[in-house]
């Protein structure tokens, strides 16, 4: 270190590290103990005009130990009495207490990272563990401040696991640990379906040591990008670890994210070993995930075996997975879905297979029986909007010295529809080879017999390929695979549409191509004599939609002037028809005093075009191919209307009304001492009447049992004080149809009968 004082009051200094290079901070090792105080090192720093003092060390008081990491005090050397400019910083702290049966350990460290949008975050990550006998608790959390162009915000999260035999009544659900957590201005990144078992919160619930209590930076490193700051996003998590009949160990974690985006997920892990102790003949470990993203229009459910799963012997690895993904709503892939068990047909690859389809491992096994014998096999099944596929295979390999032998069998079946397509492939191969070496001569003798059969259609065709020794030949039959498939007529195409509703005593047969669906505001239904159904609706809440199984190039809403919604052209590929004039017209009539009249649905009602991505194999242009096609979709095809509702009336302002001159009134008979009733008195004995969106529904369901007896008691009380309230009429009609009496939701209040004499 070097320094100088300059006349006038300024001060200059420079620090140097062990290599003689200039540095802003230097740490000096001490490694000394002064009673309970342990000093590991001290530091000094200089960044004109700020001078800093640093300390590394701790205190030991019996079972209690406290360790500080880089405790630093920074002060202005030019104005040492300006305490507002002092800074205190701490890079980390750890505390431990070990006095059986109680063990406590905790630590936190200063960290830097970035939020969802790349804004810098500075904060502290902490971890703690408490063990009391057989009970243990481990927790990991983070607190920090994020600096954005618009200002700062605070972020935090905590996740804790109670590791203890909490018990359970049924033997299939004995809880051995529980966990909970939450995040504020924090985003939880749900893992991919094949990474559930290594997801930090699942792994931490399965083994609390994963949270790395002794080193919070290590714990945060394990979490990685799974949790990061995000303004306006929050999450809650709760889970348990449990056993079933002491054979299956499982972890289940429910996560709900809300705020900027809504996401719900169930993450799970299950393990089975038989027998539980010693060498296991069965070991299965499976990660399970169910994810719902309403804002994105996505639902996914999946389960995948991990690499640690085997049967009979550890050398017999088993694989497999299941997935059901569905895209809906405003998602760009709405209308698409996929169900797969074990993956897909080997020819179902990009670009035929969409890149957003899950990649699931085949359901099968791979068994290295010995140094000479290997057996593997598996199967799959998949269903997409345009096809179904299934298949499987078995491979047996023998290799001993110069001798090799094999048996290979495989089958695949792929079926498409609208129109029907079939592709089937069966292959069997059997062979043996002998490798001979004499002097400088190497000779391999191979005997092989194989047969591959491929069939497609319609039109039906196929090939048979025979492999025999060094000879291979193919025999073709039927029509070539690239031939044009026969087109469907309207009756056959109509059979692919939604089936009609069956007739019954009340309703005739009706085609389900077009559906009118009530989305809200229906309070009841009336079955008419002609088989139709009448909705009883609330005008201020009524919403309906119109959906058609056949898309339209134009959707017309009728009125004084029609409103047209244009959409992509419609073709009928199975019928070989392109650019057809497919139009949908939606109109409404109203019956008043027995006379039907048209309603200006176009302008007096709110509406929007309902669109959906539909399979190109059905509604795309071109001739129907004689082979299975990719499950591509045509985006934005019109299927009807959505959000159809009465347009709210334009508010009318009447201005001030002079009650004294605008209304006729008369004073209440004041003869009885109990009258008049105080008009400004507050309600007593119960809550004041309040607005309730479900007021009409409550009137319909409770007026006969609650309000009617209360009103009868009130009428009786008024009569006892000499006031004639009139006739206490029945309330049956009001209960049956409250919308006919009230134009909007009235205030609802609890009946108050206390003190009525």
Give the mean model confidence (pLDDT) for residues 181-208: 85
Give the mean model confidence (pLDDT) for residues 293-298: 88
Answer positive or negative: Cα dihedral of 642, 648, 650, 651.
negative
pLDDT at 396: 93
pLDDT at 214: 57
d(CA 668, CA 665): 9
- The two tokens of residue 616 are 């190109």
pLDDT at 429: 92
Residue 15 clears pLDDT 80, i.e. is over it: no
pTM: predicted TM-score of the whole model, two decimal places: 0.63
Residue 504 clears pLDDT 70, i.e. is over it: no
Strands 595-598 and 589-592: antiparallel
Give, rounded to a whole angstrom, the gap between the first and last alpha carbons of the chain.
Answer: 96
- The two tokens of residue 354 are 């969409």
Give the mean model confidence (pLDDT) for residues 267-296: 85
Q: How many CB atoms lie within 10 A of CB 415?
A: 15
Give the mean model confidence (pLDDT) for residues 182-192: 89
For every residue of 512-541, DSSP letters joined together read -SEEEEEEE-EEEEEE-TTS-EEEEE-TTT
Residue pLDDT, tens place only, 244-263:
877 788 889 999 999 888 99
d(CA 204, CA 199): 8
> For the chain, what percent of residues have pLDDT higher than 90?
14
Q: Are 628 and 331 in contact (CB under 8 A)?
A: no
pLDDT at 335: 73
Residue 407 clears pLDDT 90, i.e. is over it: yes
State how far the alpha carbon of 198 is from the alpha carbons of 138, 204, 229, 287, in Å: 18, 9, 21, 9
Which range (178-182, 410-414, 479-483) has the least confidence? Answer: 479-483
Q: Are 227 and 211 in contact (CB under 8 A)?
A: no
Beta strands in 133-262 (DSSP E): 135-148, 151-167, 174-188, 227-244, 248-259
**Higher pLDDT pick, 671 / 87:** 87
Residue 303 clears pLDDT 60, i.e. is over it: yes
- Whether the ω angle into residue 200 lies within 30 degrees of 0, i.e. cis, is no
pLDDT at 520: 84
Q: Residue 508 — very low, low, confident or very high, per pLDDT cuts 50/70/90?
A: very low
pLDDT at 755: 42
- The two tokens of residue 203 are 């792994």
**Higher pLDDT pick, 230 / 9:** 230
Residue pLDDT, tens place only, 422-451:
889 999 999 898 888 877 787 888 888 899
Q: How many CB atoms lie within 10 A of CB 712?
A: 11
pLDDT at 684: 62
* Residue 648 φ/ψ, nearest 5 degrees: -60, 140
Of 54, 18, 86, 9, which Cα lies nearest the Cα of 1? 18
| Per-chain mean pLDDT for the chain | 81
Residue pLDDT, tens place only, 710-744:
888 888 888 888 777 777 877 777 787 777 777 67
């Amino acid at each position: 270190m070097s320094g100088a004082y300059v006349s006038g009051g300024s001060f200059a200094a420079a620090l140097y590290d062990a290599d003689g290079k200039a540095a802003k901070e230097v740490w000096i090792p001490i490694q000394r103990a002064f009673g309970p105080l342990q000093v590991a090192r001290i530091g000094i720093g200089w960044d004109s005009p700020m001078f800093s003092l640093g300390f590394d060390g701790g205190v030991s008081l019996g079972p209690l130990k406290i360790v500080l990491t880089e405790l630093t005090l920074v002060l202005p050397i030019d104005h040492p009495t300006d305490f507002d400019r002092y800074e205190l910083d701490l890079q980390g702290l750890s505390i431990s207490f070990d006095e059986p049966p109680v063990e406590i350990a905790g630590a936190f460290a200063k960290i830097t990272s970035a939020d969802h949008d790349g804004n810098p975050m500075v904060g502290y990550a902490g971890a703690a563990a408490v063990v009391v006998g057989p009970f243990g608790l481990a927790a990991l959390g983070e607190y920090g401040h994020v600096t954005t162009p618009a200002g700062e915000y605070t972020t935090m999260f905590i996740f804790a696991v109670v590791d203890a035999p909490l018990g359970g009544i049924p033997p299939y659900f004995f809880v051995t640990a529980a966990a909970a957590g939450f995040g504020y201005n924090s985003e939880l990144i749900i893992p991919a379906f094949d990474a559930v078992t290594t997801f930090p919160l699942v792994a931490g619930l399965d083994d609390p040591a994963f949270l790395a209590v002794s080193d919070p930076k290590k714990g945060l490193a394990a979490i990685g990008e799974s949790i990061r700051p995000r303004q306006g996003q929050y999450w809650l998590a709760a889970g348990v670890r449990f056993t079933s009949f002491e054979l299956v160990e499982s972890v289940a974690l429910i996560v709900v994210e809300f705020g900027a985006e809504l996401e719900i997920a169930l993450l799970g892990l299950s393990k089975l070993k038989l027998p539980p102790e010693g060498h296991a003949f069965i070991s299965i470990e499976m990660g399970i995930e169910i994810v719902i993203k309403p804002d994105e229009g996505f639902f996914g459910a999946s389960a995948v075996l991990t690499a640690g799963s085997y049967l009979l012997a550890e050398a017999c690895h088993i694989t497999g997975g299941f997935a059901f993904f569905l895209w809906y709503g405003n998602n760009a892939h709405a209308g698409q879905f996929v169900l797969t068990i074990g993956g897909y047909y080997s020819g179902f690859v990009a670009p035929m297979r969409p890149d957003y389809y899950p990649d699931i491992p085949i359901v099968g096994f791979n068994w290295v029986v010995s140094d000479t014998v290997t057996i593997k096999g598996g199967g799959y099944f998949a269903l997409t909007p345009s096809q179904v596929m299934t298949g499987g295979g078995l491979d047996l390999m023998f290799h001993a010295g110069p001798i090799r032998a094999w048996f290979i069998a495989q089958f695949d079946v792929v079926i498409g529809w609208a129109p029907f397509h079939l592709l089937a492939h069966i292959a069997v191969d059997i062979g043996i080879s002998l490798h001979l070496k004499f002097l400088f001569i190497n000779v391999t003798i191979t005997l092989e017999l194989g047969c591959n059969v491929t069939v497609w259609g319609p039109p039906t065709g196929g090939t048979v390929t025979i492999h025999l020794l060094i000879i291979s030949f193919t025999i073709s039959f039927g029509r070539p695979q690239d031939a044009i498939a026969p087109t469907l007529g309207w009756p056959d195409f109509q059979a692919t549409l939604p089936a009609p509703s069956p007739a019954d005593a009340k309703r005739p047969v009706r085609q389900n191509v077009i559906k009118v669906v009530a989305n809200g505001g229906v309070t009841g239904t009336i079955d008419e004599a002609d088989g139709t159904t009448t909705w009883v609706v609330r005008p201020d809440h009524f919403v309906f939609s119109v959906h058609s199984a056949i898309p339209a190039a134009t959707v017309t809403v009728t009125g004084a002037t029609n409103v047209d919604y244009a959409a992509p052209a419609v073709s009928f590929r199975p019928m070989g028809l392109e650019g057809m004039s497919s139009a949908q017209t939606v109109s409404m009539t109203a019956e008043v005093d027995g006379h039907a009249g048209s309603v200006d649905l176009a302008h007096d009602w709110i509406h929007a075009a309902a669109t959906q991505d539909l399979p190109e194999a059905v509604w795309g242009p071109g001739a129907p191919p004689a082979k299975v096609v990719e499950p591509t979709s045509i985006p934005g095809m019109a299927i009807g209307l959505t959000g159809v509702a009465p347009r709210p009336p334009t508010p009318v302002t009447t201005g001030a009304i002079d009650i004294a001159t605008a209304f006729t009134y008369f004073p209440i008979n004041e003869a009885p001492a109990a009258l008049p009733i105080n008009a400004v008195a507050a309600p007593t004995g119960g809550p004041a009447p309040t607005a309730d969106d479900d007021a009409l529904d409550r009137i319909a369901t409770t007026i006969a049992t609650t309000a009617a007896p209360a009103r009868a008691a009130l009428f009786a009380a008024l009569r006892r004080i000499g006031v004639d309230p009139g006739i206490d009429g029945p309330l049956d009609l009001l209960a049956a149809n409250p919308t006919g009496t009230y134009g909007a939701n009235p205030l609802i209040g609890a009946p108050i009968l206390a003190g009525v004499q």
